[in-house]
Amino acid sequence: MQHLNIALVQTNLIWENPEENRVLISKKIAAIPKHTDVVVLPEMFTTGFTMNPIKWAETMNGDTVQWMRKLASEKNIAIAGSIIVFENEAYYNRFLFVHPSGEINFYDKRHLFTLAGEHKVYTQGNKKVIVNYKEWKICLMVCYDLRFPVWSRNKENYDVLLYVANWPKTRIAAWDTLLKARAIENMCYAVGVNRVATDANNLVYNGHSAVYNSLGEEMLCFLEGENAIKTIALQKEHLMKTREKLGFLKDRDRFTL
């Protein structure tokens, strides 16, 4: 598939209210253009960035996963975003990628945000995940992972680096800079979806969701604080031609974590 049409949902999140957030997001997804392939939601899209997983965690058979499966099937799209999951006596900030078929790939956030105490209540993931979807290879990452380039290093020749986040306005310059850098160094499309508005901790989020191509050129961006959906077509031919012409990935250093 030469084009991958991705819809970025930059939205407010209702604090610790999964049901209302599902209703809100369902209305937004109902308005997406036809022929969309993937819809991307922010980090912890059912609750906001809460440190109260005991109350709000769900299972992989819970309401939100069933909702994602149903919506993906009805709209014939993949739906991606992170929620709180309880599994094997542990809580995870889990990035779900739900296929139209109902198949689910998931990635557990590796870099837990110690500044907010995320490491005290959630369990760290230890597996990098590459999703194969419509002949595209998509690498899943969550928020704070953006600061750690070794973890996202493109050893697998993936095509898209996909970040979902609750990244506050006070540090948004880092988000803008690092998202662009990840696209350049990995010679891939970098897609970042962040939330907007103010949460219960009085943290302000101004979005800056964006898409960069493999040369670090901005292809799509949201206005400051914009609550909206935007769709963009990623082009496999452009990506492959750029990699073949420049060949930067061939000169990677060889090392492992």
Which residues are catalytic, by number? Answer: 43, 109, 143
Query: Which residue from 4, 5, 74, 2 is spatially nearest to 230, judged by alpha carbons?
Result: 5
Question: Can you tell me the distance from the alpha carbon of 7 to that of 18, in angstroms, rounded to the nearest whole number?
Answer: 21
The Cα–Cα gap between 151 and 215 comes to 20
In this structure, what DSSP letter does residue 119 have? H
Q: Kindly give, in sequence order, each residue whose CB lies less than 8 Å from that of residue 162, ignoring residues fewer than 6 positions away.
A: 40, 80, 138, 139, 140, 141, 191
- Radius of gyration of the chain, Cα coordinates, nearest whole angstrom: 17
Find the helix or strand (DSSP H, E) in which 10 lies: strand 3-10
Structure tokens at 247: 């060949």
Residues in the chain: 257
- Centre a 10 Å sphere on the Cβ of residue 204 and count the other Cβ atoms it contains: 13
Q: What's the gap between Cα 70 and its chain centre?
A: 20
Q: How far apart are CA 68 and CA 250, in angstroms?
A: 38
Nearest to 79 by CA among 179, 165, 9, 152: 9
